[in-house]
Structures are given as structure tokens and as C-alpha cells.
């Protein structure tokens, strides 16, 4: 991250936005291609009724399909908890499972998510699995994952704080993340504070198109003019 953390009111403004509005607003700044910056549908929002999630990425890589070559479990390596505290709040854990069988083992369950909440995390993202889902649901903790698993198997941490890839999305430590029922995306910090106004402007244009479509005055000529204004 190459900018100071956003102010609390700026974070809250982003949290009030849905993911589609965020993506549309980002496009207006031409900071990246429209097919970049978001995870594919393999990363599912497991609690779609929760409001949008916003925070800074805490990155890990794990394996769990086979026994680690050295120590035996994640409990033998807790140094990553110290790393979590170096990332600004609110924090989002982003875990790449690079096992030979991603998702067979779950690092994240009720215990570790309780630890994450104590460390200032508001959500977690992984291409792997989570477990203890009813308990997680009661905690109201955002979870985006490839699915669920019954076991932690041989899960162990192999990298801390380095870039990870989840659902085709490359995430750097301290990247700003936004997610809701549609999925997750990164937000360029340099334009983050300007996104709510950009989204509001686009929403006004969209509502004009919708109103026209529902109007008795609808014509294709008027539609083309309205759509042209939206794209200019």
C-alpha cells in the first residue's frame, strides 16, 4: 500500500456501497482494465446477508493436504499473529491454499476466527475451505471461500505477508479489499475516497435510463441518447 490508511468516515462510506457500484466507479478512473481487480466466482460469499466488508489485506499461504516436512501444525507457527498487527485496521485475512488438493484442510474455524476478531479483523478470504460454519455465522464474521471442510487435516502456514492469489485475484499485503454477496475486489487506495461521489453520479444516470424504460414516453432514440450520456 503506497498511501496512508483511509479515515474512518472514508472506510464507512465504502462499506455503504455494494460491490457492483464500487466496480463501476473504479472503471471511471481508468486505473486498470475492467476485467481486472476482482476474484472469480470460485470465491463464494458464504454470508450474503451481511453488509459490505472493507479492510486491509493480511496475506498468508497455507498447505494442508499432506503433512508438513518440519513442524506438525499451525499451532507451531504463531508469528503471523504479530504480522497481523502491522497492517492497518480494519483487517481482512486473505489466505491462499496452495495444497495439492486446495480446500481439503481448513485453517479457519470458530477458534481461529475468534482470534482474528480479537486482532481487529472483520473478514477472511480464501480459495480453500472453512469449517464450524454455524458458529462463524453467529459471530457475524465475513467469510469468502471456495467451500466448507470437516477437518483441519495437516494445515500449516508456509508464507506470511507475501503476495497471494485467490480466485485469480492477486492480493498484496495491505491492499484495500471490498466484498459483498457479489464477490471481492481490490480498491486502488489513491482513488478510494473519490469512489462514493463517482458511484452516486453513475447511479443518477442509471436511474434516468431505468425511468425512461418504464415510461410511456420510451423510444429507442431516447434510450440511445440516455445510454450515450451514461458512457461519456
pLDDT in tens, 129-177: 999 999 999 999 999 999 999 998 988 899 999 999 999 999 999 999 9
The answer to whether 179 touches 20, Cβ cutoff 8 Å, is no
Beta strands in 88-155 (DSSP E): 91-97, 121-126, 129-130, 142-145, 147-148
pLDDT of residue 66: 82
How buried is 28 (Cβ within 10 angstroms: 0-12 exposed, 13-18 middle, 19+ buried)?
middle
3-class secondary structure, 27: helix
Model confidence band, residue 76 (pLDDT cutoffs 50, 70, 90) = low
Residue 2 has pLDDT above 70, yes or no: no
> Who's near 77: CB < 8 A, 6+ residues apart?
71, 156, 157
- The pTM score is 0.92
pLDDT in tens, 178-213: 999 999 999 999 999 999 999 999 999 999 999 999
Q: Are 14 and 54 in contact (CB under 8 A)?
A: yes
The alpha carbons of the chain give a radius of gyration, in whole angstroms, of 20
Question: What pLDDT is attached to residue 229?
Answer: 81
Cβ–Cβ < 8 Å for 101, 65: yes
| Average pLDDT value over all residues in the chain | 93
Whether the predicted pLDDT of 115 surpasses 60: yes
The model's confidence at residue 70, banded by pLDDT at 50, 70 and 90, is low
Answer whether residue 221 shows pLDDT above 60.
Answer: yes
pLDDT of residue 19: 98
Diameter over CA atoms, the chain:
72
When pLDDT is cut at 50, 70 and 90, the band that residue 119 belongs to is very high
On the question of pLDDT at 73 being above 70, the answer is no
Pairwise CA distance, residues 213 & 220, whole Å: 9
* pLDDT at residue number 78: 87
Per-residue CA distances from 196 to 3, 7, 32, 118, 219 (Å) = 18, 14, 18, 30, 31
Amino acid at each position: 500500500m503506497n498511501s496512508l490508511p483511509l479515515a474512518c468516515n472514508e472506510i464507512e462510506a465504502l462499506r455503504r456501497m455494494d460491490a457492483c457500484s464500487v466496480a463501476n466507479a473504479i472503471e471511471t478512473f481508468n486505473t486498470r482494465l475492467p476485467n481486472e481487480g476482482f476474484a472469480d466466482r470460485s470465491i463464494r460469499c458464504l454470508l450474503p446477508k451481511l453488509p459490505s466488508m472493507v479492510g486491509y489485506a493480511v496475506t498468508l499461504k497455507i498447505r494442508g493436504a499432506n503433512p508438513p516436512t518440519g513442524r506438525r501444525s499451525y499451532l507451531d507457527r504463531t508469528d503471523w499473529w504479530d504480522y497481523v498487527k502491522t497492517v492497518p485496521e480494519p483487517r481482512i485475512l486473505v489466505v491462499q491454499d496452495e495444497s495439492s488438493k486446495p480446500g481439503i484442510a481448513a485453517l479457519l474455524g470458530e477458534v481461529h476466527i475468534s482470534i482474528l476478531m480479537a486482532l481487529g479483523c472483520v473478514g477472511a478470504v480464501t480459495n480453500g475451505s472453512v469449517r464450524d460454519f454455524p458458529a462463524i455465522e453467529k459471530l457475524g464474521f465475513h467469510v469468502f471461500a471456495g467451500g466448507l471442510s470437516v477437518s483441519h487435516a495437516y494445515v500449516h502456514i508456509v508464507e506470511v505477508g507475501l503476495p497471494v492469489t485467490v480466485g485469480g485475484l492477486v492480493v498484496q499485503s495491505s491492499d484495500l479489499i471490498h466484498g459483498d454477496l457479489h464477490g471481492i475486489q481490490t480498491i486502488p487506495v489513491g482513488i478510494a475516497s473519490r469512489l462514493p461521489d463517482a458511484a452516486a453520479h453513475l447511479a443518477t444516470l442509471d436511474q434516468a435510463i431505468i425511468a425512461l424504460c418504464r415510461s410511456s414516453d420510451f423510444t429507442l432514440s431516447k434510450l440511445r441518447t440516455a445510454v450515450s450520456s451514461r458512457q461519456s
